[in-house]
Structure 1
């Protein structure tokens, strides 16, 4: 009879080891592989009147979010809890690719950002932060006489 030198779950053990190593370096797996910049994924853009930041954070409780603007640095921090941990103490997760835990992202804003005109809204898992530009930085037409 054929007898294996390795236990049947060698691949499960290798998968567990990989997850532990990723957690040790605080990297979260995504559909594209390891995250380049972390959680939440963000898009930053702008108009002549404002700077628009979108943070994609599904499953985050709005009460755990902190948005701060200090000296031109916008920071987004919060926590996403795992539904598996609260479901049952005896439950076992076979695959857990969704990030949970505390997170923090920081974005440097341009010099014309107005720290007194910031609006943040969370809707359908998307945090939209709009920072108005200072009126003195707005483009305007100057009449020639």
Structure 2
């Protein structure tokens, strides 16, 4: 009922505005959380040896993905193309909920993350990033003599 009162893309515009405000004020989530409703959606976890990041980005060309790690900040950026055909100008779009365009997510990694030991691979719409933790931060047993 309420959707009929507003233009059909008002909610998409509000979502875009929220993403731009987060980027403008650099409201970067840490691995503990904070960021919500960004694209790509993230699952972050870890082991004593690694930090595991899963970015769910279906429909993204892997060549458009960029992963950067600088000064403890991990940045995932890319471009997601259009899904609706533009060839038929007579076609009416009733619902278009899929995000299109450029995206960027920034995460603060823990202090023990090793910037020289990062791997990233994209498969079936999921970008999996593994960041090794520094060996000096690993728990170890000290023998008492």
TM over 0.5: yes
Radius of gyration: which is bigger? 1
TM-score (norm 1): 0.79
Partner Cα separation in structure 2 for residue 47 and residue 119 of structure 1: 15
Q: How does 1:1-145 map to 2 (within 5 A)?
A: 12=4, 14-16=6-8, 18-19=10-11, 21-22=13-14, 25-26=17-18, 36-84=36-84, 86-90=85-89, 91-145=91-145
Q: CA separation in 2, counterparts of 1:109 and 1:127?
A: 17
Aligned CA-pair RMSD: 2.2
Deviation (angstroms), 1:18:
2.5
Q: Secondary structure at the match of 1:25?
A: helix
Equivalent pair of 2:120/2:127 in contact (CA under 8 Å) = yes
* Cα deviation digits, residues 76-135 of structure 1 (max 9, x gap): 000111121x55151432210111111100010011100000000111111100000011
Question: Which residue is 1:30 aligned to?
Answer: none
Report the TM-score, using the length of structure 2 for normalisation. 0.79
Match of 2:26 in 1: none
Q: Between Structure 1 and Structure 2, how many residues are aligned?
A: 128
